[in-house]
Each structure stands twice: as structure tokens, then as C-alpha cells.
Amino acid sequence: MRKIWLFGLIINLLIPITTVAQVKQNNFEISKSIDIYNSLLRELNLNYVDEINPAELNETAINAMLKEMDPYTVFIPESEIENYKLMTTGEYGGIGALIQYDGEYTRISDPYEGWPAQKAGLQAGDAIISVNGVDTHKKPTDQVSELLKGQPGTEVTIKVKRYGVEKPIEFKLKREKVKIDNIPYATVFDNGIGYVSLGSFTKNAGNEMKQHLVEMKKEHDLKGFIIDLRGNGGGLMNEAVDIVNLFIPKGKPVVSTKGKSQHAGSVYHTNNQPVDEQVPVAILVDGGSASASEIVAGSIQDYDRGVIIGQRTFGKGLVQNILPLSYNTQMKVTIAKYYIPSGRCIQEIDYSKNKKQDTLTSHLSPLTSDTLGKPFKTEAGRTVYEGHGIMPDVKIELKQYATATAYLYAKNYIFDYATKYVSEHKTIAPAKEFKIDDATYNDFMAFVKEKGFSYTTESEKKLEELKKKAKDEGYYESIGNQLENLEAQLKADKENDLTKNRADIEDLLRLEIVGRYYYQVGRIMASLENDPDLKEAFNILLDQKRYQSILKP
């Protein structure tokens, strides 16, 4: 026993010595690498045949180095600092509109209601021709965004080309400090269930959620409460902790972080008395729910405080910090992994083992299966699993759109038709009531045909491959007629795709058109009308027996 104790003591003494030695070795390697880099850049500047741009080369070198880490560790040049402020505060100086590039011009895609762009009269679909006299033709979105942003109170002149208007229109706007809402929409449905759409976790998200919950409890006899985290990519960790605290008692751990640095290791507890420990809770998630969203959903699941509904979440269990660097530049660096109350980490990809993999495909492929990691237990004893994001308690299959529908959306046919529709209709019915009638849908089909809408299905690609193989291998003469007949049948079926998939296309059209008249709030309201996740949440929250059975081991 004494030998074991002495052996343990020796090991404990050796660990700090080994750590110090490693630090010294790393410091030497860093000094050596910096010296080599400096001499290389200096000699390149003196000897390269053409003039070089040292700043541009330096940023390229930094970005190449950081690619060896995870995709969340990035260099932030001075010109992009405002964009990162937006991610943490939800605030920026600008006109208050989303924009998108169409290959020719950057267009207004979604003006925020109540902010300069919308108040001045800019509309979704407007193609930005110039900003303060700077021609924006062929300029991508990021460059146009930089022109539009600026100090609140400064003026910006925007010239646009609008559908159906022959001459360009000029707008003079005064930039404002734009604050994107954490909660764009909240309501209590007729069935007594409260609903909050939480779009982000920027400053005050926890307080805003608390205010909605308190008001709903005061004015209604709440039968349940739904937090919609679908598409919410996360934000500030402390705001996630505050939201969990609304339903979980004071003093409970919500998330812990572990990293190389001592400062990276912390445990975050609930600090206040909860607002409600009894109301049934449902949280809606999908593959776009990440980071802080997963802390909320995972903690509520680990404490058996609510039912998680939807699809498996993204799986981002990494913590970033923004560190200041020289010359007003910064670095966002991953400093730790986080762990939710059951002890599990929901990080999907181990980047230390996947550096040579395509991070997009290495993440997407597991999402198509229900692969389970190491098991853990919730407070009540239910089995949950580590890694691969948060698995919902009640899984709803993700809607799969037909190829024709996906192409119509991706290639902006639906967006462009909505622009045409707005130019011809001054008003529409309220957001919840607006429908696509036969006349509108027929007009839409005529519009896309006039625009030359075409696409290639996977079936056509496979058939073309089969025809080539048959010719190469000498079988085409015997089976050519069957292949030609099959090709003709596919073509005939494709011509009916707009009719066959009308329900899905109509739904996307309805949301896009409603958004043009009633903006973000109207679009959310319209989207909830035929929402399978929401309907399932209603069914569960209003059936206490089923709700409790889901939360039992």
C-alpha cells in the first residue's frame, strides 16, 4: 500500500515538471517560428519579382494556420470587428435590412420593420445599384454590407432598381444603432399555451424571456409554455443559463466548461429563484439549433423539466472567447468544451481527429442516422447520450421537399415572384388568413415558365449514366428502347411537378409574400399555421398523462 502511495506521489510531482518543460519547449518553438516567418516575409519583400502586399499575405498566412484548428477559431481583422459585435450584442450601425447577392447585384432580401430601410421605403427585391456613389454592380454581399454600415447618425445614399419601375430610385437614410430582437414573436394561443420564438442569445435575452413568461402567467391560465429554438445558432452562454433558471431552482449547475487554461474551467449555476417550476414546458429544436440553444434544451432535458421536440440539434459543444491582438485586430478562439448537467458534452465532431476531413460532410453524414454515444442519466434516471447534439424526446421527421420545389426556392423563383406580386397588390389579407388562390398559383406557374425554369433530377442523372454504361458495354442496342421510353416518362412527369407539388410550393410562396407585407413577425405567424412540431407540442402539453410518461425513466 505504501509503495502505491509513493508511486502516486512521484507521479503527482512529475506532472507539473512535465507541464513546465512542455511550455518551455512550446515557447522556444514559437520564438523560432516567428523569427523564420519574419525573415521569410522580409526576403520576399526584397526579392520577389513583383510588388507584394504584406498585409494581405499576412492575413492569408494566419487564416491558413487557423484552418488547422476548428472552424470557430478565426482571425478578426479591424474591418470585421463590427460584424462580431453584432453576434454578441445584436447591435450594429446601419440601415436594418438583410441583403443577398443574385450574381449581378446585391438585393434587399428582408428589411427589418421599424428600422431605417423599411421606414424610408426600401423593399425586398430592390437591387442596390450604388451606395454613396460607389457602383455596386458585381460586388458581393460582404462588400456592399461594409458600404451600408457606419456610425449611427451618419447619412447614406442608396440608389436601387425596383421591379416594374423604369428609372432607378434614390433613397437618403440616416443610419441607426440597429438592435435585432432576441424574441421577434411571442403569444398565448387560444388553447392556453404560451409560445416564444427565441431567435438569438444576445444581451438581455434572459430578461426578455422572463418578462414574456411573467406577463403570460399574469394574464392567462397557462396550460403550457413553448420555447422555439429552431434555427437559433446560439450566442451568449450566460443568457442561456438565465433562461434555464426561469424553470430550474436556484443553485443548480446548468453548464460547466473545461479547457487547457485554468480560466477556461468554470461551473455556471442558476442564481435566482425560478419563475415557474410547474407549467409544462416544450422546446422545439432542429439541426440549426446550436451552442446556447443546446445548453437550454440539454439542461431542461437533463433535469426532466420539459419535453424536447423536433430533430437532432447541431452538436456544438465548444466555447469561444474573443482575445485582443495588435493593431486593433482580434481572435475568436476555442478555449474549452462545455458539459451540461448530466455530465455529457454534445460536441458532434472531434476536430483534433478530423483535421483532414471536410468539416461540412463529416458533420452532415452523422445527422442522417441516430448514432448514439456514451450513455448518461437525467435527474429522474432517463438515459441520454453524449455527442451528436441533443436527441429530442419526441422526434418529428424533417420535411423533405421535392427537387422541383427545392430548385424554385434556391434559385430565387419564389423570391422573384413575391417581388412581382407586391408590385401588383397594395395590400393582402392578415398574415394568418392570407392564402394562395388558384389565380395566383396559375400566375406563378406562368411566371416561372416564362423565366425558363428548368432543373435536372437525380433520376435523370442516373438514367444518363446508365445509358452511357449501356453504350460502353454494348447493351444499348437491346435495351435502348426501354431507356428511351423511361426518359420520356420522366420528362412527362417533370412537366407536372409544379402541379404535383403545389401544396409545398404554395406554402413557401405564402410565407415569402406575407413577409413582404408583415415582415418578420408576420412570417412567423404564417409559418405556425401548418407547423407539425407545434401541433405535436400542443398534443403533448395538453395531455398531462402523455407529458409525464415521456419524462419518466
With cut-offs at 50, 70 and 90, classify the pLDDT of residue 51: very high
pLDDT of residue 358: 39
pLDDT of residue 363: 39
Instruction: Tell which residue, 429, 310, 313, 305, has the closest CA to residue 379.
Output: 305
Give kind and range of the element (H or E) at residue 13.
Answer: helix 2-47
* Residue ranges covered by each domain of the chain: 14-69, 91-179, 185-398, 400-553
pLDDT of residue 476: 82
With cut-offs at 50, 70 and 90, classify the pLDDT of residue 180: confident
pLDDT of residue 12: 52
- Span 308-341, pLDDT tens digits: 999 999 999 988 888 889 888 899 898 889 999 9
What are the residues facing 77 on neighbouring strands? none
With cut-offs at 50, 70 and 90, classify the pLDDT of residue 354: low
**506, HSE (Cβ side, Cα atoms, 13 Å):** 15
pLDDT of residue 467: 84
**Higher pLDDT, residue 282 or 493:** 282
- DSSP for 301-370 reads HHTT-SEEEES------EEEEEEE-GGG-EEEEEEEEEE-TTS-------TTT-TTS-HHHHHHHHHTS-
pLDDT value at 536 more than 70: yes
pLDDT of residue 480: 81
CA distance 275 to 186: 17
Phi/psi at 139 (5° precision): -85, 125
- Span 401-421, pLDDT tens digits: 999 999 999 999 999 999 999
pLDDT value at 179 more than 90: no
With cut-offs at 50, 70 and 90, classify the pLDDT of residue 170: very high
Instruction: Tell which residue, 276, 282, 257, has the closest CA to residue 268.
Output: 257
Residue located via cell numbers 410550393: 505
Kindly tell me the burial class for residue 21, based on how many C-beta atoms sit within 10 Å of its own C-beta (0-12, 13-18, 19 or more): exposed
Q: Grid coordinates in use for 322?
A: 474573443
The answer to whether residues 375 and 382 touch, using CB atoms and an 8 Å cutoff, is no
pLDDT value at 7 more than 50: no
Average pLDDT over residues 305-309: 98
Instruction: Tell which residue, 487, 442, 481, 436, has the closest CA to residue 461.
Output: 487
pLDDT of residue 171: 97
Buried b (16+ CB within 10 A) or exposed e, 378-389: beeebebbbbbb
Q: CA angle 348-349-355, nearest 5°?
A: 170
pLDDT of residue 86: 67
Q: Grid coordinates in use for 340?
A: 451540461
* Strand pairing report for 394-395 and 307-310: parallel
pLDDT of residue 201: 94
pLDDT value at 48 more than 70: yes
Question: Which segment of 113-117, 193-197, 358-362 scores lowest on mean pLDDT?
Answer: 358-362
Question: What's the Cα-to-Cα distance from 313 to each of 142, 283, 412, 493, rounded to whole Å?
Answer: 28, 12, 27, 36
CA distance 549 to 279: 16
pLDDT value at 464 more than 80: yes
CA distance 411 to 414: 8
CA distance 122 to 370: 45
Question: What's the Cα-to-Cα distance from 236 to each of 12, 83, 202, 291, rounded to whole Å?
Answer: 37, 15, 6, 9
With cut-offs at 50, 70 and 90, classify the pLDDT of residue 360: very low
Q: Which CATH class is domain 185-398?
A: alpha beta
pLDDT of residue 44: 92
**Higher pLDDT, residue 500 or 89:** 500
With cut-offs at 50, 70 and 90, classify the pLDDT of residue 20: low
pLDDT of residue 23: 59
Q: Grid coordinates in use for 479?
A: 435495351
CA distance 518 to 522: 5
Q: CA angle 263-268-271, nearest 5°?
A: 135
Instruction: Tell which residue, 512, 285, 336, has the closest CA to residue 418.
Output: 512
pLDDT value at 490 more than 60: yes
The domain 91-179 having CATH identifier 2.30.30.90: the answer here is no
pLDDT value at 362 more than 70: no
**Share of residues in the chain with pLDDT > 70 (%):** 90
Instruction: Tell which residue, 185, 234, 232, has the closest CA to residue 526.
Output: 185
Q: Grid coordinates in use for 314?
A: 447541431
Q: What is the 3-state secondary structure (H, E, C) of 354-391?
A: CCCCCHHHHHHHHHCCCCCCCEEECCCCCEEECCCCCC
CA distance 508 to 441: 12
pLDDT of residue 371: 59
Written as one letter, the residue type at 398 is: L
Average pLDDT over residues 260-268: 82
- Span 146-166, pLDDT tens digits: 899 988 999 999 999 999 999
pLDDT of residue 353: 61
Helix then strand count (H, E) for the chain reads 18, 21
- Best-predicted range by mean pLDDT (299-308, 468-477, 494-503): 299-308
CA distance 477 to 474: 7
- Best-predicted range by mean pLDDT (249-253, 361-365, 488-492): 249-253
Q: Grid coordinates in use for 229?
A: 429554438
pLDDT of residue 210: 98
With cut-offs at 50, 70 and 90, classify the pLDDT of residue 195: very high
Largest CA distance in the chain: 92
Average pLDDT over residues 337-352: 88
CA distance 295 to 87: 18
Average pLDDT over residues 125-148: 94
The answer to whether residues 173 and 116 touch, using CB atoms and an 8 Å cutoff, is yes
Question: Which segment of 223-237, 279-293, 345-359 scores lowest on mean pLDDT?
Answer: 345-359
Phi/psi at 322 (5° precision): -100, 120
pLDDT of residue 477: 85
pLDDT value at 231 more than 90: yes
The answer to whether residues 226 and 196 touch, using CB atoms and an 8 Å cutoff, is yes
pTM to 2 decimal places: 0.84
Average pLDDT over residues 272-301: 97
**5, HSE (Cβ side, Cα atoms, 13 Å):** 2
CA distance 436 to 503: 10
Average pLDDT over residues 185-197: 98
Residues recorded for the chain: 553
